[in-house]
Amino acid sequence: MTMYNHIISFISIVLLPIYSYFDMKHLKANQTSIQKITSYIKMMLILCTISFIVLISVPQYHFLSNLELKKMSKIITYAPYIYFFIFSFLPLLLLFFPKFRMLVNKEVVTTRLFIFPITRTETLWFILFAIIVSISEELIYRYFLPYYLHKLFPDITLLLLITLSSAIFAIIHYLQGFGGILNQFFVATSLCVIFFSINSLPLIILIHFLLDIKILIIIRFSGIKQ
């Protein structure tokens, strides 16, 4: 365990959520397109810096050979794939069920429109932002964090390791409210299971990206003018 590992952990678990709180507060008070794009850029730079440190400080494949996902039940293993399959029907639900569309509009879009992209320029920046966030968060919270926890607690079981790292990831998304925390916990758990199942970082990065840009689908089918 190096000093870099402790620094990454402190920044990712403590400082980054604090920064996000004040950034969101400032953005909500200054709801302009320039401010929104600036917020995207600042967060991208922070995440890229942390990710770079992760890449140079954590050994490739690290502890994966010491943990066996085969001991987990098939239900736990296949649950993430079922979840993402069901999620793929979101555009159809928004398109053909007006009441569901109105509910999503009210609960998701209207309450957090100050951070979501509306104009074409904002959308392009948001797509780049989603790419950086997907890569960085998977490196930090699915690749580094389990490694860090495993080093702190060498005898930890895989199930507890996944649960603990997913809980941390969910809690740092506290700005999304209780429902958002629960959703992030399930998403994080699902991505962890997939990662440990097939040891493919690119795949979970792709899934994360598709989940992040779902807001573009919601905006497209929710009647928000661009």
85-131 pLDDT per residue, tens = 766 676 677 667 777 777 766 666 566 667 888 888 999 999 999 99
pLDDT at 217 over 60: yes
Domain ranges of the chain: 3-221
Confidence category of residue 212, pLDDT binned at 50, 70, 90? confident
The pTM of the full predicted model, rounded to 2 decimals, is 0.83
Q: Within a 10 A sphere around the Cβ of 138, how many other Cβ atoms?
A: 23
Lowest mean pLDDT among 2-11, 141-150, 211-220: 211-220
pLDDT value of residue 77: 61
Query: What's the whole-number mean pLDDT along residues 2-13?
Result: 86
Query: What's the whole-number mean pLDDT along residues 35-43?
Result: 93
pLDDT value of residue 66: 46
Mean pLDDT over each residue of the chain, to the nearest integer: 81
Distance CA 111, CA 109 (A): 6
Q: What is the four-CA torsion angle of 152, 155, 157, 161, rounded to 10 degrees?
A: 0
CA distances from 152 to 4, 16, 51, 63, 148 (A): 14, 21, 20, 12, 6
| Encoded amino acid at 10, one letter | F
pLDDT at 65 over 60: no
pLDDT value of residue 70: 54
